[in-house]
Each structure stands twice: as structure tokens, then as C-alpha cells.
Amino acid sequence: MVDTVPVEIGFYQQFNRIFYQITARAARFRYYDYSTISSLGLPGSSRDRFEYGETLRIGYQMFEDLDVFVAPSLRQIHYIETINAAGQARDSNGMNVSLGATWRINPISIVEGSAGYQSASYATGLGNTAAWAFGLAGTWTGYAPLTLRPYISRSINESALSNYKNFVSTTFAVDYNYVIHDAWTLSGGLLYMIADYSPIDGSGVPPRTDYFFRGQIGLLYSLRPEVQIGPFFEYVKATSTDSTGPTYDRLFFPSG
């Protein structure tokens, strides 16, 4: 379990068709252990950290409904424990340079996508990681009763395992809402995620890839515009190329 306290501040300005945005963000992560930590896992105290990021976005409004931009960014990660339980110093610095576009499809539909290159470097001999990064997010309402929220992401993330310095996560997801009639709504989503782990240099462990799938569907009844109730069905499956990795199938029947 993790508590996160994020703070973000930004400044946006536009001159005719040219615009720029400066953003600075910070987040505090505090982890709690509620189960037995595996021999390769890091305890929560070794994962507590601060993350900082700075982004400059410079763009041009090509048309009234289409913007293009370039967005270089920096990231700094500082762990509370200078040396963790595995005897490692995991502080790192990263950078990302991406090109992207924002498309305002209609007054209530907007999609933004970007693609670029991301890297993370460690000053203590753990090695470096670099990967192509991309993302897409937005809302589409081209058909009145249906709302789709696509989400695609590829980025470098911190690892909870002592013999892997980080992992590159690739996520494809979509959430949907379909208004059947008046107060009845069909809701749910699909998600597929791939986590490619990067071994610590010199550790001798092979690369590892975990796969996750989640499907959810529910029928909601609106008691009021802001209050909905109804059953949900959720299926989750996980597999791994590593024998110690997650391997399970789970069915959930929560109510919303």
C-alpha cells in the first residue's frame, strides 16, 4: 500500500498561435508492508521517496482544433533511505524529449498523444536505462450514448525488486460508459500491461517480463446525477517469464 502526496504548479502563455507551458511537480511516496516481503523484494521503508519533475512544452496551433508541441522534461528521484535494505543507493536522474499533438475532435471530445525518448541514470553503478516512450489519453463521444476514454502509455518506472533497477511499462487501456436508457448505464474497461524489468548491471539475473490483463463490466443505476449504484464483474490475469513472478487468475464481484 502506498500514500502519495503530489504537488504541481504551472504557467501557460500564448502569443497568437505560439504557446508555451512550464510545469514543476513534486510527489512524496510512503509505502506500507501488509504481507510477507519476498527475498527479492524491497521493504516499504526502502521504497519511500521524493520524485521531482520539470517540463517545458512549446507548441504551435496549426488549426483551431489541432496543436503540435515539443516537450523536453527532467526527473529527479531521491529515496529517504540513502542506502536501502539491499545495500543499494537508488537515487537517479532522468530526462525525456517528446513530440506530440492535441486534437479537439468536438466540443466535448479531445485526444492528446506524444512519442519520444526517455532515459534514467544512476550514479552508483546500477547502470542506466533508456527506452522509447509514448502516450495517448483523452475522451471520445462521437456517438451520443457512448463515451470512450482511451489510454496508452510507455515509460520507465521504479522497481520493488532488489535485483532489478527499474522496469519499462507499456499499457493499453480503454474505459467506456454507455447510456442504455435514462438512469441505466453500462460501464467498464479493458487493460493490458507489459512490464519489462531491467537487471542491475553485474547482478547476473536474466531479463524478466510480467503481463497483466484486466477486464471490467458493470451495470449502474443513477439514484441522482452524482450517485450511482450497481453490480460490477472484474477479471484479472497475470503471468510472468520468471518463476517467482505473479501468476494468477482472479474474479471479483464488487458493487459500486
| Residue 172 β-bridge partners | 152, 192
Interacting residues of 214 by C-beta distance below 8 A, sequence separation 6+: 189, 190, 191, 234, 235, 236, 237
pLDDT tens, position by position, 59-114: 999 999 999 999 999 999 999 999 988 888 999 999 999 999 999 998 889 999 99
Name the average pLDDT for the chain.
92
Distance CA 150, CA 141 (A): 11
pLDDT given at position 254: 65
Distance CA 135, CA 112 (A): 8
Whether residue 241 has pLDDT greater than 60: yes
Q: Residue written as cell 524478466?
A: 208
Interacting residues of 136 by C-beta distance below 8 A, sequence separation 6+: 111, 112, 113, 114, 150, 151, 152, 153
User: Which DSSP symbol is given to 52?
Assistant: E
Whether residue 256 has pLDDT greater than 60: no
In the chain, how many domains are there? 1
| CATH number where 135 lies | 2.40.160
Distance CA 23, CA 21 (A): 7
Interacting residues of 70 by C-beta distance below 8 A, sequence separation 6+: 57, 58, 59, 97, 98, 99, 100
pLDDT given at position 181: 85
Whether residue 186 has pLDDT greater than 80: yes
Handedness of CA 106, 107, 109, 111 (dihedral sign): positive
pLDDT tens, position by position, 214-227: 999 999 998 887 78
Cβ atoms of 220 and 185 within 8 Å: the answer is yes
pLDDT band at 255 (very low <50, low <70, confident <90, very high): low
pLDDT given at position 144: 82
pLDDT given at position 18: 97
Cell numbers at 190, concatenated: 479493458
Whether residue 121 has pLDDT greater than 80: yes
pLDDT given at position 225: 75
Cβ atoms of 50 and 91 within 8 Å: the answer is no
pLDDT given at position 252: 87
Q: Is the pTM of this model over 0.85?
A: yes
**Beta strands in 206-247, from DSSP E residues, in sequence order:** 208-224, 227-229, 232-240
pLDDT given at position 240: 95
Domain of 82 in residue numbering reads as 2-252
